[in-house]
Amino acid sequence: MSVMRKALLAASTNAWLRDHVTKWAFVRRSVTRFMPGEQIEDALQAAKAQQKLGINAILTRLGENLTKAEEFEEVTQHYLDVLDKVEAAGLDAQISIKPTQLGLDLDRALCERNMDRLVERADALGNFVWIDMEGSPYVDPTIEIFKRSRAKSASVGIAIQAYLFRTPKDIEAMIPLGPAVRIVKGAYLEPPDIAYPKKVDVDEAFFALCARLLAPDAQKTGTLVHIATHDIALAGRLQAYIRQHNIPKSAYEFAMLYGIQRQQQARLAKEGERLRVLISYGEYWFPWYMRRLAERPANVWFVIRTMLG
């Protein structure tokens, strides 16, 4: 892993940097490339514009590791409102949440109750809740929370990280549930005894996991795969695999982040692929933004160019 990537991921958890850097005008300007604005209305407008291009959305309010009961309640209420707003606007926009936004760090039972409220509302509206995967200490509780929700409703899915050695086992255990799984490479700083440090290994793991979830026995259980990557070579390899095995479009969707690989997003939509773009919004964007910069060191030059005007 490059020194730059390590430094940016370490910076993502630094409270001093979070409090200061987010006030600098050029940083605020540069972040607009990756998020349409801080308010839900900005995200809904972006979702509407994407929908005209044949691209559906997933909405996520930035924020993680919340610590106060009133904050968990506020986030839960916020997402309940978002589900209603999406319905009123006639949009195809799902939501994606982090368990630590709903109380996982403080009170697991409360987090589960909040998750139930969101999944029940999504179910009633014909919508869908994705559960993001955070750093490795959260993997066990997040999978357990997902399984608990999935036992009650099919309107919930989970993000799973290809860089973790444990993931193939986790996936095997989930397949009988007919899960919706978003395969991602993984965005956190993890030690080499639990996660592949090299991109080439992560890419192979990503391909193998998607292929596993697209296999006939997994498909029989109703498994849905979100191929969540901007890696065009990898996505192309999977498209070829899908064609070769006559896998129906109902078995998978592509997913990308707002503002990244826009031309490729338009291309996939034009080719008739199902694609969702995850649109982030909210005021607490620092750790998320540092992870986006870490994914592509060239983004740091983009920030510097913004600073130089």
Ligand X SMILES: Cc1cc2nc3c(=O)[nH]c(=O)nc-3n(C[C@H](O)[C@H](O)[C@H](O)COP(=O)(O)OP(=O)(O)OC[C@H]3O[C@@H](n4cnc5c(N)ncnc54)[C@H](O)[C@@H]3O)c2cc1C
Catalytic residues: 132, 182
Answer yes or no whether residue 46 interacts with ligand X by CB under 6 A: no
Answer yes or no whether residue 296 interacts with ligand X by CB under 6 A: yes
239: closest CA among 275, 187, 193, 291?
A: 275
Q: Which residues, in sequence order, are bridge partners of residue 93?
A: 57
When binding is defined by CB under 6 A, the residue of 64, 132, 190, 273 that contacts ligand X is 132
Answer yes or no whether residue 61 interacts with ligand X by CB under 6 A: no
Size of residue set near ligand X by CB under 6 A = 25
Answer yes or no whether residue 292 interacts with ligand X by CB under 6 A: yes
Q: Which stretch binds ligand X (CB under 6 A): 74-82, 172-180, 209-217, 253-261?
A: 253-261
When binding is defined by CB under 6 A, the residue of 230, 237, 239, 300 that contacts ligand X is 230
Answer yes or no whether residue 198 interacts with ligand X by CB under 6 A: no
Q: Which stretch binds ligand X (CB under 6 A): 45-53, 63-71, 85-93, 184-192?
A: 184-192
Q: Please report, as ranges, the residues that interact with ligand X according to CB under 6 A.
A: 132-133, 159, 161, 182, 184-188, 199, 228-231, 255-257, 260-261, 278, 292, 295-296, 299
